[in-house]
Structure 1
Amino acid sequence: MNKIVFTLLFPALLLNTQTAESQKISSDSIKSQTKANRLSIGGYGEAVMTRNFYSQSFNRYKQPELYSNDKSHGRFDLPHVCLNIGYDFGKGWTFGTEIELEHGGNGTAVEIEAEEAGEYEAEVEKGGEVALEQFWINKELLGGKLNIKAGEIVVPIGYTNAHHEPNSFFTVYRPEGEATIMPNTWHQVGLSVWGKLKGWRYEAQFLSGLNSESFTGENFVHYGATSPYEFKVANNYAGALRIDNYSVKGLRIGVSGYYGYTFRNTLRTPGTKYDDVTGALGIIAADFSLKRWNWIVRGNIDYAHLDDADKISAYNQANWTHHKYQDGNPHHYTNIGSNAIAYGIEAGYDIFSQISKMRRENEKLYLFGRFEHYNAMASGTHKSMYKHTKRYRCAFGLNYSPVKQIIIKGEYSYRYFEKPNNNGLASDSPLYTQPYNNEPSVSIGVTYCGWFL
């Protein structure tokens, strides 16, 4: 995922724009802009060019010694191109939507599955040609202290789901850890009750549960919120809660949690053998962002636990054996971990704050660094088969903002893995474990995020 990113812009559209506030929950930005302008149109976008200095083989973690000298490779990509539309109907009723094209795609993609013998596989990633990340009606009560929102809503678990616009992180791509182990951007049809009280913001959500058939060893529950059908199966339900505090100037601290059952949330009937399996998923997360004294500092920590991981893995593996030759099968059927973790911190200083001309022009140049660690299989019976999911990543670079709505990004990143403890074994010993190859990359990019109308 470490990439060189070049994000295409359409600056002629950015007339009378206002930047989204990085401290504000994403859906709040849509609502506040709509309330101020009745009809609002905005969006954000990224386009990507990548140079990765490591092998792109699907087998590079199974036999790392064979790929240590592979040539570098490059990619072009459109990670996210989004259009926001909002409208204020009056009397406290507002409408908001976010329509997203991911990777320039139309809902399906061909992938080489490392966990499924490297076969080419057409993955159904979502049940439509575009991702409708937000589509809700909101009723404001008590002057904003209480709101009721229904529709397709963002599930704000962790930092990146709540703050997913490209001006909310320094790196070219979204933070890897949260984007790997959880759905990202996590959105589902549901009901939300939220509001603001002095220096606090709260939100509680009622949702359908995730689908454990879409969990994987590489990505934990990342694919669990998607549905290949024209509807989302809701045999199980879940709840999400987020609380943010803004009492200290320039500082936001947030905590969030999620709990719900994930097994049987499909059209298939497992049978009585699995009557006691629920696949209860619990996630707890904390994050903060500080914007003061010409510094921006952001951090997060996320921990997730999945009950019945071994039984679900066995069930998925049995289904893989039975259904692997079926065309259009949307599920992965791999082993799953019982715990996953991600944490990270980034900090950037505005160099232009020390140059009077740049301050007057409101141009900014942040020199930043980021460190993160994540593991999609932090524990579980099959942990030894997925040691490569325990990853560390460092990134250093610059963010240059000539105007509020545009950020030009550049970074060098270095993903690395723990060295195996071979206790002095010779490299030709059958017990010797080969170390994984490190994965450096260089990235450059430009992003836009603003309101056109």
Structure 2
Amino acid sequence: LALLALAAGPARADAPTGRHAFPTTYDAEGNRLPRPEWDLSVRGYGQLLFAWYDYDLDQTRAGGAREASRLVFDTTRFTMEIEGALPFGLEFEAEVELEHHGAGAAVELEYDEFGEYEQEVEAGGEVVLEELFLAKSFGPLRLRLGRFYLGVGLLSELYRPTEYLAAARPESEQIVIPGVWDELGVEATLRLESVLLTLQVVNGLDSTGFSSATWISGGHQQRFELVSASDLAVVLRADWTPTPGLTVGASAYYGGTTRNRPKADLLPDCDDPGDTEVAPCGVVSADVLLVDGHVTVDLPPFTARAVALWGHLANAGAVSDRNARLSNNLAVPRTPIADEAFFAWLELGVDLAPTLGMDPGHHLEPFVRLEYYDTMFDVRDGVFDNPRFARAVSSVGVGWAYGDLVYAKLDWTHREVGAFEDGTDLRAEDGVRLGVGFTY
């Protein structure tokens, strides 16, 4: 409600003002001149998902998930983005997202932790401040300070439901790295004709949340009120658009994680530990390196997106050993972490509406999406390379949209668990999904 009130318009001219309020000014005829104020705009989107799945939730069994027949209905998310601009190039943006059915506590059954029940405040639904930043443009250079999306992968750019083809976001990118990844820091982008260069310096991840099933994704700092930035991360990204509708790019992420843990508990053996410093002999490095290549095509009637990402975690063994002894109260998985992870996804679609003579503004797009990901892509000696974390997902369906205002997507998904792993016989998993929603 407060955000809606803000977006409704400026306050009354006679409302109380702060100590730095603009003085009242008049023109030559004695008419009061308007004070400078933000030019506000509001946009956002809503998503609903209705799905049927033929498998049970417990994927840890010897043969994979058991056969089942489940219906799942979800109010996936509703977002509101408020943008403000001043005439001299200063901007702000705030994005609030309500996920699932609101905020509250819920209990999850964690099969990866021997069937333990865990209560998580955010699990029943979340109210999340995804973005909050100030930006200033200086010709081709733009600076941002605050919370914003990282330039890693494709979902940081193509997260709105009308910007990808299937009924839901690609699971591969959301599992291996934080989905639609946002952090706090500073960003500089530079436009050089057809090339866009991006540099970001942000807070790093927290390695206590790393795990077998989701690799570094659980390290996104959301469990505590304050974000630890003792270890920073740097993102470099380059995107080349040789012709409108075609973009090819690459990005790299490098950042520490050890000093962002809640306690200084990942330390080397020290001959003289003392008691006046937190880490007199330094810390065990647990740096994360990510490298991706990506391409997007929007050349009507054809649409295509593709991305591949490889990642490496330094001293994954030391992190795994220390995480295994963490308190249950921290609510983290405490499972072995792989040294490397990988994902790739590709989707292709063609708009048949012009061919079928549909009214202008309507779009009818058959599509296919292919994904592969492995959160234990490479492991050190002595660690079991669990084949069930290597998965290939195929999605086939059709989407309808009226402009970028409303949409409906129906698809069938097939997941191969243990994909391309020798000697595995894990049950495949199928589902049918209907996604509907709107943008405004």
TM-score, reference length from structure 2: 0.84
Q: Which residue of 2 aligns with 1:197?
A: 192
Secondary structure (helix, strand or coil) at the match of 2:293 reads: strand
Q: 1:72 aligns with which of 66, 69, 73?
A: 69
Q: Contact 2:103 / 2:122 at 8 angstroms: preserved in 1?
A: no
Describe the SS at the equivalent of 2:399.
Answer: strand
Task: Return the index of the structure with the highest Cα Rg.
Answer: 2
Q: Which residue of 2 aligns with 1:116?
A: 113
Which of 237, 261, 267 pairs up with 2:256?
Answer: 261
Where do residues 78-97 of structure 1 align in structure 2 (5 Å cutoff)?
Answer: 78-97=75-94
Change (3 A) 1:129 1:50: closer
Unaligned runs of 5+ in 2: 1-37, 270-281
Residues 420 and 223 from structure 1, CA distance in 2 versus in 1: closer, same or farther, beyond 3 angstroms?
A: closer
Aligned residue type for 2:47: E
Aligned twin of 1:336: 337
**Alignment-derived partner of residue 217 in structure 2:** 222
Match in the other structure for 2:372: 373
Find the partner of 1:443 among 420, 433, 437.
433
Determine if contact 2:150/2:235 at 8 Å carries over to the other structure: yes
Distance 2:190 2:78 in 1: 29
* 1:54 pairs with 2:55: yes
CA distance in 2: counterparts of 1:419 and 1:303, whole angstroms: 17
Residue deviations 1:275-328, cap 9 Å, x none? 452111000111111111411111110111101111100010122xxx22x4xx
**1:65-101, Cα deviation, whole Å (9 max, x unpaired):** 7x54x32111111222110001112211111111111
Deviation at 1:250, TM superposition (A): 1.6
Tell me by how many angstroms 1:386 deviates.
2.3
- Is 1:294 aligned to residue 301 of structure 2? yes
Against the structure 1 CA distance between its residues 267 and 48, is the aligned structure 2 distance closer, same or farther, given a 3 Å change threshold?
A: same
Could you tell me how far apart the structure 2 residues matched to 1:372 and 1:232 are? 32
1:306 aligns with 2:296: no
CA contact (8 A) 1:124 1:330 kept: no
What SS does the corresponding residue of 2:162 show, helix, strand or coil?
A: helix
1: CA distance between counterparts of 2:265 and 2:55?
Answer: 41
Aligned length: 388
Distance 2:299 2:306 in 1: 15
The residue type paired with residue 336 of structure 1 is I
Amino acid corresponding to residue 248 of structure 1 in structure 2: T
Question: Structure 1 vs Structure 2: percent identity of aligned residues?
Answer: 26
1:204-250 CA distance string (max 9 Å, x none): 11111100001111001112122322110112111112221122232
Please state which structure has a larger fraction of its residues in helix.
1
Partner of 2:403: 403
Q: 1:273, CA displacement in angstroms?
A: 3.1
Report what 1:156 is aligned to. 151
**2:401 partner amino acid:** S
Aligned to 2:156, what secondary structure does the other structure show?
Answer: helix
Look up the match of 2:22. Answer: none
Aligned to 1:169: 164
Report the equivalent of 1:182: 177
Is contact 2:369-2:396 (8 Å) kept? yes
- Secondary structure of the residue aligned to 2:259 is coil
2:82 and 2:365 map into 1 onto residues whose CA distance is 30
Residue identity opposite 2:402 in structure 1: P
Q: TM-score, normalised by structure 1?
A: 0.81
**Unmatched segments (≥5 aa) in structure 1:** 1-36, 423-432
- Return the structure number with greater relative CO, CA threshold 8 A, min gap 6: 1
Please list, as runs of the form range in 1=range in 2, the aligned pairs for 1:34-49 lying within 5 A after superposition. Answer: 38-49=39-50
Change (3 A) 1:335 1:107: farther
Counterpart AA for 1:114: Y
Residues 1:386 and 2:386 aligned together: yes
1:138-191 CA distances to partner (integer Å, 9 max, x unpaired)? 01112xx00111011111200112221111111111111111100112111111
